[in-house]
Structure 1
Amino acid sequence: MIIILLILLLLVVLILNAFFLYIQQRGSKALGSEAPKVKMDEGLEESTARFLAKDKDEWQIESHYNGSKLYGWFTDNDAQTTVILVHGFGVDHNSLNVHAQLFDKLGCNVLQIDDQAAGKSEGKYLGFGYIESQDLLDWIQEVLRRHPTDKIVLFGASMGAATVMLTTGNDLPKNVKLIIEDSGYTSAADILSYHCQKRYHIKGKLLIAGISLMSRLRAGFSYRQTDCRKALEKNNLPILFMHGKNDFTVPFNMRDELSTCGQFPKMSYGSLGVHIRSYYVDSKNYQQAVDKFFKKYL
């Protein structure tokens, strides 16, 4: 009987480990990270190409979380504001080139980073925003080391949006002034549960709890630590919440749940766009919302 129980326990561990690797290892497509194909508003492709042609300095730091080498690319506009862009799940910094050109056009310095286990950066596992939020603290310090008087704006999309929201749960330097989240989810457990129900018509609560335990053992964090609502309860920085009503990767109702957390200045923007594509199809209103947010709080 003991042998049978040990065999069953081993099978459970192996199954949970397989799910953990499927969901969190580098290159995971567990959340369907293939970018939605949409036609950009007129002029966006050309302005993005001009931005990409500008000189960029490659930065490198070491993660205090686990020692991984991390890489970023800085576009210097000799400005007093630097925007750090944090990309989403299963992609790299290039996924936000269109958004980077927006902040470049608004006259900001732009720092695009590759998260752990993405692009050029080292790391084995995706962190659903938690590992990335710890590394974002390091990137903030690197900006301050090189540009000590700059105001800092944190912009994140999807998992990157969760990252910037989770970062607000920390004691941030006074230079960090604003947060912009585009298509962010409430927590790792919530977004995995949503996809379990959407794709496989199961709640998967016990499975997700088991994968969270495996994440704790292998990646150093549990899904409890990815709850953006708890972080926002501690936040005092202005946040702009930006979501598309036709987003089927992160449901639109998560915007309402997130934007009602905490007591801090907030603005909201909504479009008919799909996941992280509001700016592509509603660029005029999207830019106006960002510009209004800057003018009011920066």
Structure 2
Amino acid sequence: MDTKRTETMTRQKKIIISVTTIVAALFLIGSYFVGNYFIEYMLGRKDSDYDDALSPSYDKPAAEVENRQAANLAVAKLQAEVGFDEVYIQSRDGESLYGKIYVQPDSNLWAIVVHGYTSTHNSVQDVATEYYNRGYNVLTPDLRAHGNSSGEYIMLGHEDGPDIVEWAHYIDHADASIVLHGFSMGAATVMIAAGEDDLPENVVAVIEDSGYTTAIQMMKEQLKFRFGLPSFPIVNISNIISIVKTGLNFNDPKPIESIQNCDLPMLFIHGDEDNYVLQYMQMELYNSYQGEKDFLIIEGAGHTAGRYLVPDIYYTYVFDFLDKYVQ
């Protein structure tokens, strides 16, 4: 009797172990495929011209649409009347990086304006126009794996920050005063650049618009917002795949830590209707920063859309801030 009971219990244990093993294997296999899809979705190269394409639920107000159209006309006018130069530099790890430059022959003021995630330099030509019309030379680069720059996978600012440092060194003018102005992932990029030890001393101020605190926190928010999925184990497994496949560790891009190695004046801008990089990240960045700083919250603005919704307020705030530090 005891022998039969023991045999039955043994069979039951084997069945439980087998079922558990199969379920665990299926779970891991499923997580791998989801994680691999997540890598291609998040980091695969795909170029567009507008960061706010990433906020599909954002319904643009009529004023924003009209102001965007007016900004595009101003860009067309600048390019027709002034023209631009196109240049390439090489990154530290051998990637070819493209930039478009508007030159003011008699000015020592420079702005490096950096586009966002899956966008290109074209998406910030309106900002370049504003800087140019105020007397700045302007450089608008394509980040690696975007636009005309080489690279297979998006690095979420980790390699892009050092790339912007290289662009700042490219501006080979001893008396130049350089401003870094970035949007979305470009904002994360300029914050990371600001914390690099070899950033040129003639970089004098940073404007970050809609940047995130850390890449991994932004990813977790996106999994929840876009897919209704928990971050564990998808982000964890995706990170392992990413390290092997792309070389990017999700834990590395940490703008909130980079800016602790920086003392440049910094302006933090965000729209309170941003559903891509949530607005609370702005205040976490602002509150953590120990240098000279200011912030602007734009009511009703979606992701990187403040400059279109209320351009007068946006640019007045930006240039009033810069006028205190740029000479």
1:12-65 CA-partner distances (Å, limit 9, x unpaired): 555433321221010179995378654143853432222232211111011113
1:101-154 CA-partner distances (Å, limit 9, x unpaired): 11111110000111111111111000111121121121111112xx33311111
Alignment: residue pair count: 294
Corresponding position: 1:119 with 2:147: yes
For the 8 Å contact 2:47–2:147, the answer to whether it is kept is no
TM-score, length basis structure 2: 0.82
Shift of 1:9: 6.4
Corresponding position: 1:287 with 2:315: yes
| Equivalent position to 1:275, from 303, 309, 319 | 303
Shift of 1:261: 1.1
Which residue of structure 2 lines up, in the alignment, with residue 24 of structure 1? 43
Q: Which amino acid aligns with 1:255?
A: Q
Which residue of structure 2 lines up, in the alignment, with residue 156 of structure 1? 182
Q: Which amino acid aligns with 1:134?
A: P
For the 8 Å contact 1:22–1:28, the answer to whether it is kept is no
| Equivalent position to 1:206, from 233, 250, 269 | 233
Q: Which amino acid aligns with 1:18?
A: Y
Q: Which amino acid aligns with 1:191?
A: M
Corresponding position: 1:134 with 2:155: no
Shift of 1:279: 0.9
**SS of match in other structure, 2:123:** helix
1:199-257 CA-partner distances (Å, limit 9, x unpaired): 22233132112222222222223122111111111111110111111111111111111
1:139-178 CA-partner distances (Å, limit 9, x unpaired): 111112xx33311111100000000011122112111111
For the 8 Å contact 1:92–1:119, the answer to whether it is kept is yes
Corresponding position: 1:233 with 2:253: no
Partner Cα separation in structure 2 for residue 7 and residue 267 of structure 1? 50
Structure 1 residues not aligned, in runs of 5+? none
Q: Which amino acid aligns with 2:46?
A: G
TM-score, length basis structure 1: 0.90
Question: What does residue range 1-298 of structure 1 map to in structure 2 within 5 Å?
Answer: 13-27=32-46, 33=54, 37=60, 38-41=64-67, 43-53=70-80, 54-65=82-93, 67-78=94-105, 79-144=107-172, 147-171=173-197, 172-272=199-299, 273-298=301-326
Of 215-224 and 33-42, the range deviating more from structure 2: 33-42
For the 8 Å contact 1:153–1:178, the answer to whether it is kept is yes
Q: Which amino acid aligns with 1:153?
A: V
Partner Cα separation in structure 1 for residue 36 and residue 316 of structure 2? 45
For the 8 Å contact 1:234–1:262, the answer to whether it is kept is no
Partner Cα separation in structure 2 for residue 139 and residue 76 of structure 1? 15
Partner Cα separation in structure 1 for residue 135 and residue 263 of structure 2? 25
Of 280-289 and 16-25, the range deviating more from structure 2: 16-25
Which residue of structure 1 lines up, in the alignment, with residue 15 of structure 2? none
Partner Cα separation in structure 1 for residue 223 and residue 34 of structure 2? 16
Partner Cα separation in structure 2 for residue 247 and residue 17 of structure 1? 27
Which of 1 and 2 has greater Rg?
A: 2
For the 8 Å contact 1:279–1:286, the answer to whether it is kept is yes
Shift of 1:6: 8.8
1:83-114 CA-partner distances (Å, limit 9, x unpaired): 11111111100011111111111110000111
Partner Cα separation in structure 2 for residue 125 and residue 165 of structure 1? 20
Partner Cα separation in structure 2 for residue 17 and residue 34 of structure 1? 23
Shift of 1:260: 0.7
